[in-house]
Amino acid sequence: MIKSILAAAKLVKAPPARTSDEWARDKRVMPPSSPRPGNFDPDVNPYMRPAAWAAAQPCYDRETVITATQMGKSVTFENIIGHRLDEDPTPIMYVAPTAPLLKDAVVPKFDDMISECESLSAKLNVRKSSTFVKWIAGTKLRFVWAGSPSGLSADSVGLILVDEVDRIVNTGEGSTMVIVERRGDAYDGSKILYTATPTHGRVAKRKHPVSGLWHWEVAQVKALGSAIWKLWQSGTRHEWAVPCPECGEYFIPWSGLLWWPGKGGEKECTPDEAQRHARLTCPSNGCQIENKYRSWMNERGRAVAPGQSISRDGEVSGEAETAGSTHFTYAVSGLCSFSSKKSYGALAKDLLSAQQSGDPADLLAVYNTGFGECYAQAGDVPTWEQVRSMCWGYAAGQLLLEPLKIYCTVDVQKRRLVYVVRAWYAGMGSMLLEHGDLWGDTDQDAVWDQLSDLIDTEYGGHPINVTGIDIGYRDDQVYKFINDHKARAIALRGRERLDKPFRKEMVEVDRKGKTRKRGDARWAFDSPFAKRWVHSRFGRPDDRGGWWLLHQQVTDLYCKEIVGEEWREAEGKFHQVGENHYLDCEAMQYIMALRDKLQRRKVGALTKAQLAVAVKAGPIQEGGAEPLDDDATPAPVVLAPVPAPPPPTEADKPAARQRRADAAPAKGRSRFNIIKRPTR
Ligand SMILES: [Zn+2]
């Protein structure tokens, strides 16, 4: 009797005899809609096998997995959960950032897995189950979104999977992680799995002195916005290494090893050429690896932590520096993906296109979802002296070349309007024409009349095409102005977060809740996104387009306000460190250009170096610009060299009034000349 109880207990207690991917090979059939229908084949993406392996090891109570997109990450975690429910049932909770994500993307895949796996569907209690709760083998699989703290704290569970960790934290529900950890702690022998593509962070590779492998270095936490990367750093720090097909040495693929003709140099190829000729460089001997070897390399891949070495025949030796950690953490590069959409060529094309656009959002997307790496803009916090160094050899109001568009953007203050006028070119190049402020109480008409005059200014015969005015203060005055200047002025509204760069919104009610008869419109925009683009203009190499020029009479005040906010990588947001009105104006300039789709205008786009040749001006030089025409209306800014004017105070107001008297209307009259017409 006792013997049989012991035998039964042994049977019940027996650990899973296999890992989840082997379970899936045996039991799981992928639906026809999946990239690889039919029996699940774990050998397609061998780099996910360490994730499945670690989930089955009792020595780890936490697991963190970082990948790019399209790497078979979701299917791996579905397998881990399916395997557990089938062969070692425990209550399971699946956490994702939002309910729609669960409902539309996650749950249907689990439904497919259950219906196409006989032993799971046989154990499914259909009557008790709902969309977000599946009863299988007498235990619950619950799907919970991060915005639902009650769902998170409902009952304790033996296995928790937290998906898209970075999106959870970034939506401001940071406490989710604390609640999740508490759920797991309440259950003996529980496991928590975290996974995501990473987001912001400044990370670097370091060559290990013993193994010679290049690992991700542990970054300072304050340099990291990405929650998944912080989790990853806190554990074993395993990475996927593959052998070079030419010399046989193992290495860890990452974006820095991707090569294309002329990379980073003067004769860099186009993104399309990069797609055709991209190679992966072997860091040991510089071998140039073609894309076709990807699966050969993956078949022989190994997961290694810092301190471990791999011989040419794949033998892993040496003790990991992180040995003993109960948190298995693992990262695999997008360069190892099985997907044809992530070939070396496709990734090279995406990366080079993003580098050429210089757009922080594009670059972030390529590094995060393409490679599975953190990314931080170089020179995120420029100094005001760096801003000043953007001055070029031209005077305020002078056009270097015929522009595509000229915009005026206006920041509304209580007693003044701060404005910037900038000319825009193909390829998102732009040059500052004027900056300044118009003084007067902005709830009265006089200052708006001045703005009316200002936006009639012409530059070398070119009018200001559109004026963008920031809304959120003095809305009634702004909408009145916009209605008085139909088709020439729009309202802009910066937001701390938006799901796209900008979006048109209709405003139905005014401040007092009264219906607006005219149905005013405004353009909401992602303010941090636009400001980061402005800051990304500094330190751009001369062989890139998207230049952003300042004229010689730019004031120190202007330069200081451009850096009046600093981007904090760890928090993923800006901090105000000084006045920032000109930064707001310049951020709006960028949105105006995007709104007109100028980023798609490639014909005639010049790099900064080509521009210098085209106008024979170049960075500040003596006599580089023609003097202003004295007969024209007075220049709106003082002439260089400029002592930094103090920030405006009450005492400045008389001077400001004088400025107003000087600001003669310039209707229909050209105030400025073009230095040189473009050579065609
Ligand atoms: Zn090699």
pLDDT (average), residues 507-523: 67
Dist. CA 379–CA 384, nearest whole Å: 12
Which one has a higher pLDDT value, 594 or 627? Answer: 594
Residue-level pLDDT at 175: 65
Residue-level pLDDT at 627: 38
Q: Is residue 423 within 8 Å of 430, Cβ to Cβ?
A: yes
Answer whether the bond into residue 641 is a cis peptide, omega within 30°: yes
Residue-level pLDDT at 10: 47
For residue 418, the number of C-alpha atoms closer than 13 Å in the C-beta half-sphere is 20
Residue-level pLDDT at 638: 28
CA of 294 to the centre of ligand 1 (A): 14
Which one has a higher pLDDT value, 600 or 330? Answer: 330
* Band (182; pLDDT cuts 50, 70, 90): confident
Taking only the tens place, the pLDDT of each residue in 451-493 is: 999 999 999 999 999 999 998 888 889 999 999 998 899 999 9
Q: Report phi then psi at 375, rounded to 5.
A: -145, 140
* Band (424; pLDDT cuts 50, 70, 90): very high
Residue-level pLDDT at 650: 37
* Band (124; pLDDT cuts 50, 70, 90): very high
CA of 287 to the centre of ligand 1 (A): 4
CA of 175 to the centre of ligand 1 (A): 46
CA of 268 to the centre of ligand 1 (A): 24
Burial 611-644 (b: 16+ CB within 10 A, else e): bbeebebeeeeeebbeebeeeebebbbeeeeeee
Give 36-90 as a DSSP string. S-EE--TTSSGGGHHHHHHHT-TT-SEEEEE--SSSSHHHHHHHHHHHHHHHS--
CA of 466 to the centre of ligand 1 (A): 56
Residue-level pLDDT at 320: 96
Which one has a higher pLDDT value, 474 or 271? Answer: 271
CA of 168 to the centre of ligand 1 (A): 40
Q: Report phi then psi at 163, rounded to 5.
A: -100, 150
Residue 217 has pLDDT above 70, yes or no: yes
CA of 310 to the centre of ligand 1 (A): 14
Residue-level pLDDT at 517: 58
Residue 641 has pLDDT above 90, yes or no: no
Taking only the tens place, the pLDDT of each residue in 68-123 is: 999 999 999 999 999 999 999 999 999 998 888 999 999 999 999 999 999 999 99
Residue 667 has pLDDT above 60, yes or no: no
Give 145-168 as a DSSP string. ETT-HHHHTSS--SEEEE-SHHHH
Residue-level pLDDT at 92: 94
CA of 567 to the centre of ligand 1 (A): 39
Q: What does pLDDT average to over the chain?
A: 84
Residue-level pLDDT at 512: 60
The Cβ of residue 370 has, within 10 Å, a number of other Cβ atoms equal to 26
CA of 311 to the centre of ligand 1 (A): 13
Residue 329: closest CA among 195, 200, 441:
195
Q: Is residue 152 within 8 Å of 176, Cβ to Cβ?
A: yes
Residues spanned by CATH 3.30.420 within the chain?
Answer: 384-659
CA of 245 to the centre of ligand 1 (A): 7
Residue-level pLDDT at 567: 79
Residue 665 has pLDDT above 60, yes or no: no
Residues spanned by CATH 3.40.50.300 within the chain?
Answer: 24-196
Tokens found for residue 225? 């916005």
Dist. CA 380–CA 559, nearest whole Å: 15
CA of 72 to the centre of ligand 1 (A): 27
Taking only the tens place, the pLDDT of each residue in 338-376 is: 998 999 999 999 999 998 887 778 888 999 999 999 988
Q: Is residue 224 within 8 Å of 201, Cβ to Cβ?
A: yes
CA of 64 to the centre of ligand 1 (A): 30
Which one has a higher pLDDT value, 627 or 49? Answer: 49
Tokens found for residue 198? 């990473």
Dist. CA 231–CA 217, nearest whole Å: 14
Residue-level pLDDT at 570: 66
Dist. CA 420–CA 554, nearest whole Å: 11
Q: Is residue 85 within 8 Å of 110, Cβ to Cβ?
A: no
CA of 317 to the centre of ligand 1 (A): 20
Residue 419 has pLDDT above 90, yes or no: yes
Q: What percent of the chain has pLDDT above 90?
A: 57
Residue 164 has pLDDT above 70, yes or no: yes
CA of 302 to the centre of ligand 1 (A): 16
Residue 186 has pLDDT above 80, yes or no: no
Residue-level pLDDT at 646: 38
CA of 316 to the centre of ligand 1 (A): 18
Question: Cβ contacts of residue 62 below 8 Å, gap of 6+?
Answer: 191, 192, 193, 194, 235, 326, 327, 328
Question: Cβ contacts of residue 517 below 8 Å, gap of 6+?
Answer: none
Dist. CA 590–CA 582, nearest whole Å: 13
Residue-level pLDDT at 149: 67
Dist. CA 169–CA 14, nearest whole Å: 38
Residue-level pLDDT at 252: 98
CA of 289 to the centre of ligand 1 (A): 8
Per-residue three-class SS string for 259-326: ECCCCCCCCCCCHHHHHHHCEEECCCCCCEECHHHHHHHHHCCEEECCCCEECCCCCEECCCCCCCCC
Residue-level pLDDT at 652: 35
Dist. CA 56–CA 144, nearest whole Å: 23
Residue-level pLDDT at 380: 54
CA of 252 to the centre of ligand 1 (A): 12
CA of 241 to the centre of ligand 1 (A): 13
* Band (26; pLDDT cuts 50, 70, 90): very high
The domain 24-196 belongs to what CATH superfamily?
P-loop containing nucleotide triphosphate hydrolases (3.40.50.300)
CA of 303 to the centre of ligand 1 (A): 19
CA of 364 to the centre of ligand 1 (A): 29
CA of 248 to the centre of ligand 1 (A): 6
Which one has a higher pLDDT value, 318 or 184? Answer: 318
CA of 286 to the centre of ligand 1 (A): 6
Residue-level pLDDT at 636: 34
For residue 668, the number of C-alpha atoms closer than 13 Å in the C-beta half-sphere is 0
Taking only the tens place, the pLDDT of each residue in 576-620 is: 888 899 999 999 999 999 999 998 888 888 888 888 888 864 444
Q: What percent of the chain has pLDDT above 70?
A: 83
CA of 28 to the centre of ligand 1 (A): 37
Dist. CA 604–CA 165, nearest whole Å: 43
Fold of 384-659: Nucleotidyltransferase; domain 5 (3.30.420)
